[in-house]
Amino acid sequence: MSFTVKIRGRDDVLSVEMGQTILEAALAAGLPYPHGCRSGNCGACKSELVSGEIEMSPYSDYALSKAEKDLGLILACRAVPWSDAEVVWLDPSDTVAHPIRHMTCRVTGLDQATHDIRIVRMAVEAGGPFDFSAGQYAQVAFDGLPGRDYSMANRPSEDELEFHIRLTPGGAVSPYVAERLSVGETVKVVGPYGASHWRGNHRGPVLAGAGGSGLAPIKSIVEEALAGGAKQPIHLYIGVRAERDVYLEDHFTALAERHENLEVTVVLSEPDGATGRRTGFLADAIAEDFQTLDGCKAYLAGPPVMVESVTQKLKALGVRRQDCHADAFYTEAEKARLEGA
């Protein structure tokens, strides 16, 4: 049995199987439904339920507050229809619509960026062209392993794809990338996905915050902004644990030398000893540096705890919820915890 879900303002009518979420049905149909984490944590798939009945599986308050729920908003990634329904996207003009490609890629380069992050470069061999917006991600499947979400670190116009993959001990995929992946292997890449992409029409200041391998989408966004001639201040904050986790610093320093509107700050949360760098949590460093960020757009990526703490501080500094674009790197463990909540 299936239900019909209409998307107001678009021609698309989805057929949603019993037990399937609206987002699952949309993505299966190749519809670029705005979304991020697909696990009820980011709020990027927030939509208004115009009519019909849905049931929502667990999600975080950050993604959808009680007040928003009472106003009739839903999360498409959590919403399972129980009748035919109609929904409307919150800001269709803010949505990018690249075709979803199923590609075969070949690994062309591997670099050890830190003790636990590998930079993987790939060429698209079949299924392209791969159009995406800076900040988006793809589902990447190595050597028959399950697909995992990894953000593109290259600019969309560049030929080679670049991914920064951090080792998660005990994981199904990243240990393979850390220990066994080699140049020449073929990889399945499906995408692009995600709503946390660069908005080039915004003229106000930009705050870009990266935690660990969250630098991947933030690198793509910052480079795309500068290549497109963005003149507004771009404050790039890179948060890592200790000195050995810092990477691509020379790259960003060189970029800042060429673009006076780019300012780069590295913050260590667990320095090994005395250090000349900023220390503490990223959220606190940002709060120390600004009295207000009203009119600013923020792009954040990295561990969920960092993304949530920075988002809270940004809210207090005047950044509007719709100007805060975040990809929290949820792992299977974190998704399972939420499911059990």
Residues that bind ligand FES (CB under 6 A): 35-38, 40-45, 63, 75, 77
Spatial contact of 335 and 205, defined as CB atoms under 8 Å apart: no
Pick one of ligand FES, ligand FAD, none as the site partner of residue 43 (Cβ within 5 to 8 A by kind).
ligand FES
Query: Parallel, antiparallel, or unpaired for β 54-56 and 13-17?
Result: unpaired
Smallest distance, ligand FES to C-beta of residue 144, A? 27
Smallest distance, ligand FAD to C-beta of residue 124, A? 18
Smallest distance, ligand FAD to C-beta of residue 137, A? 4
Within 13 A of 98's CA, how many CA atoms are on the CB side?
Answer: 21
Q: How far apart are CA 25 and CA 27, in angstroms?
A: 6
> In this complex, which beta carbon is closest to ligand FES, that of residue 24 or of residue 223?
24
> In this complex, which beta carbon is closest to ligand FES, that of residue 235 or of residue 325?
325
Q: How far apart are CA 101 and CA 127, in angstroms?
A: 6
Beta strands per DSSP E along the chain: 2-7, 13-17, 46-51, 54-56, 73-75, 79-81, 85-89, 101-112, 117-126, 137-142, 148-151, 161-166, 186-193, 206-211, 234-240, 262-268, 278-279, 297-302, 324-328
Measured from each CB, the residue nearest to ligand FAD is: 171
Smallest distance, ligand FES to C-beta of residue 121, A? 28
Pick one of ligand FAD, ligand FES, none as the site partner of residue 99 (Cβ within 5 to 8 A by kind).
none
Give CA separation, 264 vs 1, 176, 219, 250, 283, in Å: 54, 32, 12, 11, 15
Beta bridge partners of 239: 211, 267
Pick one of ligand FAD, ligand FES, none as the site partner of residue 183 (Cβ within 5 to 8 A by kind).
none
- The distance in angstroms from the start CA to the end CA of the chain is 29
Angle at 268 between CA 263 and CA 271, to 5 degrees: 145
> In this complex, which beta carbon is closest to ligand FAD, that of residue 85 or of residue 173?
173
> In this complex, which beta carbon is closest to ligand FES, that of residue 59 or of residue 237?
59
Smallest distance, ligand FES to C-beta of residue 155, A? 24
Smallest distance, ligand FAD to C-beta of residue 312, A? 20
Q: Is 233 exposed, middle or buried (0-12, 13-18, 19+ CB in 10 A)?
A: middle
> In this complex, which beta carbon is closest to ligand FAD, that of residue 88 or of residue 145?
145
Pick one of ligand FES, ligand FAD, none as the site partner of residue 296 (Cβ within 5 to 8 A by kind).
none
Pick one of ligand FES, ligand FAD, none as the site partner of residue 41 (Cβ within 5 to 8 A by kind).
ligand FES
> In this complex, which beta carbon is closest to ligand FES, that of residue 162 or of residue 327?
327
**Cis check: omega of the bond before 192, within 30 degrees of 0:** yes
Q: Which residues bind ligand FAD (CB under 6 A)?
A: 36-37, 137, 148-151, 164-166, 168, 170-174, 194, 213, 216, 327, 329-333, 336
> In this complex, which beta carbon is closest to ligand FAD, that of residue 81 or of residue 304?
304
Pick one of ligand FAD, ligand FES, none as the site partner of residue 42 (Cβ within 5 to 8 A by kind).
ligand FES
Q: DSSP for 281-322, please give it.
A: -HHHHHHHH-S--TT-EEEEEE-HHHHHHHHHHHHHTT--GG
Angle at 212 between CA 195 and CA 341, to 5 degrees: 65
Smallest distance, ligand FES to C-beta of residue 90, A? 12
Smallest distance, ligand FAD to C-beta of residue 136, A? 9
Pick one of ligand FAD, ligand FES, none as the site partner of residue 209 (Cβ within 5 to 8 A by kind).
none
Smallest distance, ligand FAD to C-beta of residue 197, A? 12
Pick one of ligand FAD, ligand FES, none as the site partner of residue 128 (Cβ within 5 to 8 A by kind).
none
Residues in CB range of 50: below 8 A, 6 or more apart = 8, 85, 86, 87, 88
